Chain A
Amino acid sequence: MKKVVAKLASLLLAGTMLAGCSGGGAPAADTAKNAAETKSETDKAAVSADGAPIELWTFQEIHTGFYEKMATIWNEQNPDRKIKINFTVLPYDDLHSKLLIALQSGVGAPDIADIEIGKFANYLKGDPQLLPLNDVLDPEVKSRVEIYGKDGQYYGVCFHIGASVTYYNKEILDQAGVDPASIVTWDDFRAAGKVVLEKTGVPMTTAETADPWSFWPMLASQGGDLLKPDGSPDVDSPAFIKAITFVQDMIKEGSIVTAPGGFHHAEEYYGFMNNGGAASISMPLWYMGRFTDYMPDLNQKMIIAPNPVWEKGQPRSIGLGGTGTAVTNQAKDPQLAKDFLAFAKISKEGNIEIWKTLGFDPIRTEVWDMPEIKEPNKFTDYFLNSPFDVLTQIKDEIPAINNGENLPKVMDALKTTTLFRAFEDLEDPAALVAEEQSKLN
């Protein structure tokens, strides 16, 4: 029987393909959909053999390796609720647009989807088409799910804390005779910058003009943020002005340059930094992977340290970035999808695996000092110290950001105009932020 079904399905598939060839561009999309449907029918026929199919969309190829591992463990532990994940890896923009259409129109969405934090608010507008995960959440990880919430319902689970830290190039600091441990406040940082510039000719750090990652912690330590707690834009706060003024002063002194390519993910920047272009960079911990993959020459030169603050006692970090994994309301078996998601991203095994496969700082802080975490991997081999040494120091100093419907809009403004005008054009901070705020209201 199964064979007959499979044969019929493949005939159908061949037929629709032929039709697709003769049709134009637009009907081809329908054909693809038909083909996908026939495929999922054959999948259904095979459910008993390899588990219930779960469609999963992600924009990061490396995430699939992690889910695959977790699915294997899940199938071992739950022989009666086996699953089989079908991955679709889409480019960042594609995934978010396609998911938006699928949820808006009510057809074609996957069971589980990775949604980047900067986009997450888009999916909470109107009546969220994602399922609340409150019943499978653990209070331990609350701060990293609240950012994906609305009206007391939480819709996503993060991969990591995304604790912001500063990476120092120890080779350059040693040449200048600066000890990274002595840099506690921004004033220390500025003084060290002068010494580094004088002795080595290299700027202390780089300022992003097209991304907020380095700038955000400078607000956070002052209690500032991009959004107010009520969710309205907050780009003209005194904290904003203070941080911009400080960076501008250091740019004028020559100890900060704008990041080549505009942001810390540009090819130009990787090359620049890899050649010892700057003495430090402030980025979240997930940036470790960029060092290992794109800046091989800095191997055994980088040391991880907490961010400087304005005054001692202020929080030295903030949780930045992230990917909220969500279950859509079109999931075929919502409970199964939710339980698997909770297992993969909230359980202890899952959190350890997140560090091992992805190199992220897991959201469950209790695993940070477990022996499994101490095992060497490519990150511990690369950096001079372990990220968990720093994490345990700043454990209680990692606030979450305020998320809300306005975040995509504010991020857009920061990435296109605000930071560029501040650091490239060196405009007057007070006037600049007032104008930017008025555009956002």
Chain B
Amino acid sequence: MNNPNKKSAEAHRGLQSFLYSPKIAPYVFISPFVLVFIVFFIYPVISTGIMSFQTVLPGKTEFIGVENYTNLFNPTFLKAVQNSVVYTILTLVLLIPGPMILACFLNSKNMIGKNFFRSTLFIPALTSAVVATTIFRLIFGELSGSLMNQIIGLFGFKPIKWLRIQETSFAALVFLACWRWTGVNILYFLSGLQNIPEEVNESASLDGATVWQRFFYITMPMLRPITIYVLTISIYGGMSMFTESYMLWGSNKSPKDMGLTIIGYLYRQGWEQNNIGFGCAIGIVLLLFALLLNFAQLNLFGLFRKEE
């Protein structure tokens, strides 16, 4: 007679022991993430890998071996790789030391208007890339009335077609990146700086260390983990840059491909010309490229070395 109740009680206990089990419960809790990760990351990566060996067309999807990869050896792709690499290097050179020094200023006790600068420097990161780039396109307009041409006009220079010359268009791209990301990187470095114990600096100054000595021998080494982190995400961000280049020229088509990035080329081939298989091959190459660069960099800076 009591059977059903007994059963449900047993089931209840079973469920309880399942949920409270220290072995199983963690997996239950992380399962939403794991599922999302599998469906939206692992699966696309695998299927991109497969598609990179195919021509992908409705009704005519077939394997074509490594043809997509051999097709990559063309001047346009090389130009895209060159652009992405140069852009990445330039942003690294400017966007790591600059924000690091600025963060030191903002962290210093003697700085006036600290909070004001902290918030204003961060504002550009909050604007949408599309809006910001559209404004930059107007700033770097080629007519004499554009802001940049008016500024150089004050110094007696003639108007420049900023976005139609390789060097100046890259300057515009890098300028935009600096404007946008300085605040974010400052934030990273600030959080790192605030983790440096005050005593270390104090005892150093008691021992007579100058400001520069303290910066080079205390601040910089102690910021290493943060610097490596910023470096890693900057390499990834630089290699995958697309929106800025797309918006600066109003389309994916910059003159002589002077602003074409690897993602831009992927977009052009995959979507604009419906060569999805080829687009996948470009994506895979970019992935390997970014992984390789970051692996080399992390190795070089000793992230994989055991702390002694």
The 8 A CB mask of A79-114 against B (1 = contact, 0 = none) is 000000000000001001100100110000000000
With CB as the reference atom, state the residue of chain B lying closest to A92.
Answer: B251
* Complex partner residue of A26 from B36, B60, B74, B255, CB under 8 angstroms: B36
Chain A's closest residue to B250 (CB) is A266
Chain A interface bracket (under 10, 10 to 19, 20 to 34, 35 or more): 35 or more
In the assembled complex, B57 has its CB within 8 A of some CB on chain A: yes
Known A125-B274, A127-B59, A408-B272: A268·B143 in contact at CB below 8 Å: yes
Q: Is A421's beta carbon under 8 Å from chain B?
A: yes
**Any chain A CB within 8 A of the CB of B301?**
no
A24 to B32, CA, bound (A): 11
Kindly state the separation between the CA atoms of A262 and B60 in the bound complex, as whole angstroms.
38
**A382 proximal to B (CB < 8 A):** no
Residues on the A chain within 8 Å of B67, using CB: none
Inter-chain contact B74/A439, CB cutoff 8 Å = yes
Which residues does chain A contribute within 8 Å of B164, judged by CB atoms?
Answer: 209, 262, 420, 424
Decide: A417 near B256, CB < 8 A? Known: A272-B143, A439-B76.
Answer: yes
Contact of B56 among A97, A104, A209 (CB under 8 A): A104
Q: How many Å lie between the Cα of A105 and that of B60 in the bound state? A: 13
CB-defined contacts of B75 to chain A, threshold 8 Å = 439
8 Å CB interface, A46-78 against B: none
| Contact mask for chain B residues 246-268; partner A; CB cutoff 8 A; 1 contact, 0 none | 00001001111100100000001
Looking at chain A's contact residues, the main secondary structure is helix
Query: A209–B249 Cα gap in the complex (Å)?
Result: 13
Complex CA–CA separation, A79 to B230 (angstroms) = 65
Residues of B within 8 Å of A, CB-based: how many?
27
In angstroms, Cα B75 to Cα A189, docked, is 38
A301 is an interface residue with CB less than 8 A from chain B: no
Query: Of A24, A409, A417, which contacts B273 at CB under 8 A?
Result: A409
> How close is B149's CB to chain A, nearest CB, in angstroms?
11
Instruction: Identify whether the interface residues of B are mostly helix, strand, loop, or mixed.
Output: loop
**Residue numbers in B under 8 Å from A129 (CB-CB):** 58
- Are A210 and B58 in contact (CB-based, < 8 A)? no
With an 8 A cutoff between CB atoms, is A16 at the interface?
Answer: no
Q: List the A side residues contacting B273 at CB < 8 Å.
A: 122, 408-409, 412
Per-position binary interface string of chain A over residues 408-441, scored 1 when its CB falls under 8 Å from any chain B CB and 0 otherwise: 1100100111001100100000000000000100
Asked if A126 is an interface residue, CB under 8 A from chain B, the answer is yes
- Do residues A127 and B58 form an inter-chain contact, with CB atoms below 8 A? yes
Minimum CB–CB distance for A202 against chain B, Å: 16
Whose C-beta in chain A lies nearest to the C-beta of B76?
A439
**Is there an interface contact between A126 and B58, defined as CB atoms closer than 8 Å?**
yes
Q: Which residues of A contact B256 (CB under 8 A)?
A: 416-417, 420-421
Task: Report yes or no: B271 in contact with A96, Cβ–Cβ below 8 A.
Answer: yes
Residues of A within 8 A of B272 (CB): 93, 96, 119, 122, 408, 412
A416 near B276 with CB under 8 A, answer: no
Query: Can you add 20 more A-B contacts, CB < 8 Å, to A104-B56, A123-B274, A416-B257?
Result: A24-B36, A93-B271, A96-B271, A103-B58, A122-B273, A122-B274, A125-B57, A126-B59, A209-B164, A210-B255, A260-B142, A266-B250, A268-B143, A408-B273, A412-B268, A415-B253, A416-B254, A416-B255, A416-B256, A421-B256
> Interface residues, chain A, CB within 8 Å of chain B?
24, 26-27, 93, 96-97, 100, 103-104, 119, 122-123, 125-129, 209-210, 260-262, 266, 268, 271-272, 408-409, 412, 415-417, 420-421, 424, 439
Which 5 pairs, one residue from A and one from B, show the smallest C-beta to C-beta distance? Answer: A126-B57, A127-B59, A122-B274, A126-B60, A420-B255
In the complex, 25 of the A-B residue pairs with CB atoms within 8 angstroms, ordered by the A residue number, are A93-B271, A93-B272, A97-B271, A103-B58, A125-B57, A125-B274, A126-B57, A126-B59, A126-B60, A127-B60, A129-B58, A210-B255, A261-B142, A268-B142, A408-B272, A412-B253, A412-B273, A416-B253, A416-B255, A416-B260, A417-B257, A420-B255, A439-B74, A439-B75, A439-B76
